[in-house]
Amino acid sequence: MAVWNVTHVSHLLGRTLFGYSKNDLSVAQGYGSFADLVDLALLKDNPAPAAPNTWVNTTPAASQTTSGETGTWYREFNYWWFKLMYKEGLNMQEKMVLFLHNHFANERDKVVYPQNMYAQNALFRKYAFGNFKQLVKEISIDPAMLIYLDGHNSRGSAPNENYARELLELFTMGIGNYSETDIKQAAKVLSGWQVSGLSATFVASRWYTESSVMILGKTAKFDINSLVDHIFDQKATAEFLCRKLYQEFVYYKPNETFVLQMAAVLRSNNYEIKPLLKFLFTSNEFYTPAYIGSKIKNPTELMVGAAKLLELPAPDYINMYEMAKVLQMQLFQPPNVAGWPGQREWISSTTYSYRGGFTDSLITGKRYNGVAVTGKLVPVLFAQTFNNSEKAVEFVDDVCLLFLAFPPTVKKKAFLLETLLGGTIVKNWSTYTPGANVNLQQFFKAVMRLPEFQLC
């Protein structure tokens, strides 16, 4: 079993949460074992949060788009989710909700109404640690999904194949494990549903009329439930999901031998996600040294995590919302049905600069375009929460240990120390001297602009 130490605990928190604070790390270390931290905190079931506002229960109407209400509500929806991420504590539910949002990707521009997207988000939250097979059954008749992949216009006599294709290709089995005929026949089974406002209704007259169809080698009069059950009887399904979870939480190049072990755990637990996650996060594989600090933070992880790290009492969610678009990860607006590809796609010469601009804004109180940011850092007060705040060399070490997934080079650490000192000598450093606030501001900006800060 992996050694229980600060490196491994930090790695676990970095992958399962949207960042963490110094206090979060301290509390996590107090659990004393990976099993307890995972069982009692990370995978603990949470009650459903209060809705962002009463609009979630209003019937979608065209007047809401022409009046601009839908745009205002989507903003509020984003702020609400950012806050849930920021306030998550040591629980990874929100991380799993985002994983599912990306796995079953829907775009707000196609779905249009935030009421439908909110209901889908609540569905992901309900099954974040639950049964993946049941989630697939319910997402198949989810109004947002029916709208997004045109299922609400599908009839058995003229089935729309969009959802059937993505169900097999992106949501359950993966390319190479089904045929075009399987898609066409599955599309018939998935037909018959219409969306009215917040609800989906089955209309028998719009369903397929054949007495049976053949899908994945089996002939039957399938309905959605029996179709999904049949898909989940296929060996490829558990492996496909486990491979995707591995790439998200462990390493972008899957260890296929370990993926097979994960799939065995998932199947033996009838597709319950929680036992699989516990197996993963208590495995030696997860703590492989080469994987630590190997993941490029997505923009949401970067923004929410930076605010947590600096212990901002009131993060500026408007700032996060605006920067999310610039950093190419606007919640509820993935690029396509395949979701955000992630990893190296997050970084370009443009987005890297804007990432630095965002972290700067938390410290300077000004966004890249000069707009004021609320809830900015008070550098001296934050620095003084560290035990070694008055010892320059040790303070730099402590900050690097907390802020970075692995140590910077000797040269980079010397640069950070020089930035902190701002021309004075080590023995003269103190957070109580005039100018310390400015020095600390430059120091924190420098740490958060390091390439290492982009990794977790």
DSSP state of 7: H
> What pLDDT digit, counting tens, does each position of 250-308 carry?
999 999 999 999 999 999 999 999 999 999 999 999 999 999 999 999 999 999 999 99
Q: b/e for 345-379, b at 16 or more Cβ within 10 A? A: ebeeeebeeebbbbbbbbbeeebeeeeebeebbeb
Supply the pLDDT for residue 161. Answer: 98
Supply the pLDDT for residue 186. Answer: 98
The residue assigned the tokens 């299922």 is 151
DSSP state of 171: I
Percent of the chain with pLDDT over 70: 100
Residues 425, 429, 432, 438: is their CA dihedral positive or negative?
positive
Supply the pLDDT for residue 179. Answer: 98
> What pLDDT digit, counting tens, does each position of 212-259 carry?
999 999 999 999 999 999 999 999 999 999 999 999 999 999 999 999
CA distance 41 to 32: 12
Model confidence at 417, pLDDT cuts 50, 70, 90, reads very high
Closest CA to 319 of 366, 377, 378, 382: 366
- Torsion, Cα 348 349 355 360, to 10 degrees, reads 170
* Residues 6+ positions from 420 with CB-CB distance below 8 Å: 392, 395, 396, 429, 439, 440, 442, 443
What's the average model confidence in pLDDT over 60-77? 98
> What pLDDT digit, counting tens, does each position of 309-345 carry?
999 999 999 999 999 999 999 999 999 999 999 999 9
Supply the pLDDT for residue 369. Answer: 86
Q: At what angle do helices 114-126 and 132-139 cross, to 10 degrees?
A: 160
Model confidence at 348, pLDDT cuts 50, 70, 90, reads very high
Q: Give the mean pLDDT of the chain.
A: 97
Supply the pLDDT for residue 368. Answer: 82
> What pLDDT digit, counting tens, does each position of 358-372 carry?
999 999 999 988 999
pLDDT at 1 over 90: no
Across the strands, what pairs with 199? 196
* Residues 6+ positions from 350 with CB-CB distance below 8 Å: none
What pTM value is reported for the model? 0.98
CA distance 45 to 85: 15
pLDDT at 134 over 90: yes
What's the average model confidence in pLDDT over 387-398? 98
What is the distance, to the nearest Å, from the Cα of residue 320 to the centroid of all Cα atoms in its chain?
A: 15
What's the average model confidence in pLDDT over 415-443? 97
Strands (E), 66-137: none
What is the distance, to the nearest Å, from the Cα of residue 247 to the centroid of all Cα atoms in its chain?
A: 13
